[in-house]
Amino acid sequence: MHNRFALLSLMLLSVSGLFSSALDAAPAAPNIVLIFVDDMGYGDLGCYGNTKNKTPHLDRLAAEGQRWTSFYSSGSTCVPSRKGLMSGRHPVFIPRQANGLNDDRSALMPAMLKRQGYATAILGKWHLAGYPKDFTVDSMHPLECGFDYHYGTPGSNDVPPPPGKKQTREVFDNCDKFSFPVPLIRGREVVEYPVNQELLTHRYTEEAVKWIEQQKDNRFFLYLAHNMPHAPIFASPEFQNRSAGGRFGDVVEEIDWSVGQVVETVRRLGIEKETLIVFTSDNGPWSCFGPHGGTAGPLRGEKATTWEGGQRVPTIFYWPGTIKPATIDDIGANLDLYATFASLTGGSEPSDKPGYISTDLSPTLLEGKPSARQTWAYHQNAFRSGRYKIHVASSLPTDPVTRRRRPITTYDTPLLFNLNADLGERDDIAEQHPEVVARLVSEMKAFHGK
């Protein structure tokens, strides 16, 4: 009898141990704060090598969380990047009409998280489609796409431009905080027109703190999508003329302050260890506009190009007690956040949607395993597989004077770069490695279904 009791006790302890291990391996579904900034370059933060812009809050998150060095935006401009982020689909497979995701609203990220019981809010820029005629009734309004609360602008802070003008360097040089007729909308009501652009970052931050305080007893998803540092750039009066990085540095440092306010709030409320914070940018910097744009650091290119500087962006994951500090050199992309959030929250993925390629990054975040993503397609002009990248056509920089796209050049032999050895894409090695070029061309065609 004694032996049978001892055996039963051992079995119970064993089951208990297995159950405990399972709990350790699968943390509870976290709150999620996704901070998505606009046109911030790979080299604009201290933790990515900038020596002029002071970003202590983001530098701390990078030191205490995971800093990714090969993380990509879905597109090299605003709308494609956001389409990929919210849908988990590569934008080349999404219809190009203004409301290309109109039939898939229930499959977007906020709707998926809302079905898991999350309170959901968007503060800032939406711009999932073209600029609507009346955003208050638009079918792609955030409140139609899974968000419970909305406060922000329909699109970029340069849309529409001042009457009779285009978004040129001259206009950015001479505009003031009210020059661009951009509305600020709460829910479906316009609350300020034109919005005072100097106050955008500060207002979104105040709203974020207030909303998190309201939701502290619920599971929540906050999408904090700053308009800045997209040109025209503006900072609050208390941040003006204080950065060694000039006016752009002022804007970056206010964003860093904003991140600090969000982190301080979850700490003060005692929910820091229950909250995953992700920081990333929608694409690279608009460097052609000089002091109104940032820097890609060691990378070649800028926004609207398929050089690394157009789509490789600063990205940090912070979840104290769950994500161990590390620098991750593996490939990831913002559209991978869909599968990652679904995995962490028990949500379902829309794997039947064309172009859904979102890859779960949670094994890397939680266990330090290599990223499952091995390739990346830069629109239709370039393709990466492992360390190698080909360009089959030139990138598409915008002329800062005319605002017109420059002509595309198609290469008879694709350019080939080893990104591990040549981060700046300066040394074309296609002639030395024709077999690598052929392999990547084949992989690229397979990806695009050709």
Catalytically annotated residues: 78, 127
Nearest CA-CA partner of 277 in 87, 114, 58, 109: 58
Q: Are 303 and 39 in contact (CB under 8 A)?
A: yes
Q: Are 411 and 391 in contact (CB under 8 A)?
A: yes
Determine the longest span between alpha carbons in the chain, in angstroms: 93
Residue given tokens 């898939």 in the structure block: 104
How far apart, in Å, do the first and last CA atoms of the chain sit?
Answer: 71
Tokens of 340: 């990652």
Stated as kind and residue range, the H or E segment containing 247 is helix 246-268
Tokens of 261: 């306010």
Stated as kind and residue range, the H or E segment containing 151 is strand 149-153
Nearest CA-CA partner of 231 in 280, 292, 175: 292
Residue given tokens 């399972």 in the structure block: 22
Task: Give CA–CA dist 24/16, Å, rounded.
Answer: 12
CA dihedral (154, 35, 276, 267) positive or negative? negative
Q: Are 45 and 297 in contact (CB under 8 A)?
A: no
For 253, which DSSP code? H
Residue given tokens 């000039």 in the structure block: 246
Nearest CA-CA partner of 241 in 198, 272, 200: 198
| 3 state DSSP class of 416 | strand
